[in-house]
Amino acid sequence: MFTARRLSMVAAITAFALMAGCASQNPYDPNTQAPAEGGVSKTAKYGALGALAGAVAGAAIDHNNRGKGALIGAAAVGAAAAGYGYYADKQEAELRRQMEGTGVQVERQGDDIKLIMPGNITFATDSANIAPSFYTPLNNLANSFKQFNQNSIEIIGYTDSTGSRQHNMDLSQRRAQSVATYLTSQGVDGGRVSTRGMGPDQPVASNGTADGRAQNRRVEVNLRALPGAQGATSTVQ
């Protein structure tokens, strides 16, 4: 059984892990993305919870030196639990840096990252040919996706509501495929890439104005952890 002294030690280790996680959570840009979950990043949150579980398990296993066992358990399990969250933090920060000034929006949703590319930089009206202004963001994305290779890349094309639904569904699929083809031509692993055409579905603005239609003619890229990457620590420095 744990004594009060040993339980205090476990609590202290967990508090230390949480503070360390908060101190190292950085990669959020404080001007654009506030850490979620009441000011504590997912890296810190899961790392601390993992540290608590690891501390309890480590103390239980090492009967001769429960303090040492708790420290070892906290370090091992806490690192594993925080691994992908830390990886996503670093990837998000790098994408924000690379996409600055390009018109591409970077959004964080838990451990997932979404990139929103509006129609004014991606494709001309009724075209699936990549616009000249789109090559620089795509080249930057290709370089990032090759460096950060622990997530899947889902590319979704959208259109405005002008024209028939079937035409727009086909056009949005061709736009998504154009992006995928270009990224793979730049060395991104095609096994990570999938495409979908959503046509005029899920508009983000009114189709009653030219500006709204341009916002709806967009491409979104969703980045999610590959199977086995969740909880795995990253080698990206």
CATH number for the domain that contains residue 207 = 3.30.1330.60
Last residue within a domain, chosen from 75, 97, 119: 97
Q: What is the pLDDT of residue 35?
A: 47
Structural domains in the chain (count) = 2
Is 230 domain-assigned?
no
End-to-end Cα, the chain, rounded Å: 41
Domain end point (choices 40, 68, 97): 97
> Which of 72, 97, 122 represents a domain boundary (last residue)?
97
Predicted structure pTM score: 0.67
Q: What is the pLDDT along the chain (237 residues), one digit of tens a residue?
A: 555 555 555 555 555 555 544 444 443 343 444 444 444 555 555 555 554 554 444 455 555 555 555 544 444 444 444 578 999 999 999 999 999 999 999 999 999 999 999 988 999 889 999 999 999 999 999 999 999 999 999 999 999 999 999 999 999 999 999 999 999 999 999 999 999 999 999 999 999 999 999 889 999 999 999 987 665 544 554
CA distance 32 to 193: 28
Is the domain of 107 the same as that of 88?
no
Residues 145, 219: Cα–Cα separation, whole Å: 17
- The residue with tokens 């991104």 is 188
218 and 190: one domain?
A: yes
pLDDT at 8: 55
Are both 52 and 137 inside the same structural domain? no
Is 36 part of any domain?
Answer: yes
How far apart CA 48 and CA 98 sit, in angstroms, is 31
Range(s) of the domain holding residue 163? 103-225
39-43 long-range contacts, CB within 8 A, separation 24+: 41/85, 41/89, 42/85, 42/88, 42/110, 42/111, 43/82, 43/85, 43/86, 43/89
Q: What is the pLDDT of residue 42?
A: 54
pLDDT of residue 32: 44
On whether residue 231 sits in a domain, the answer given is: no
- 216 and 115 together in one domain: yes
Residues 189 and 83 occupy one common structural domain: no
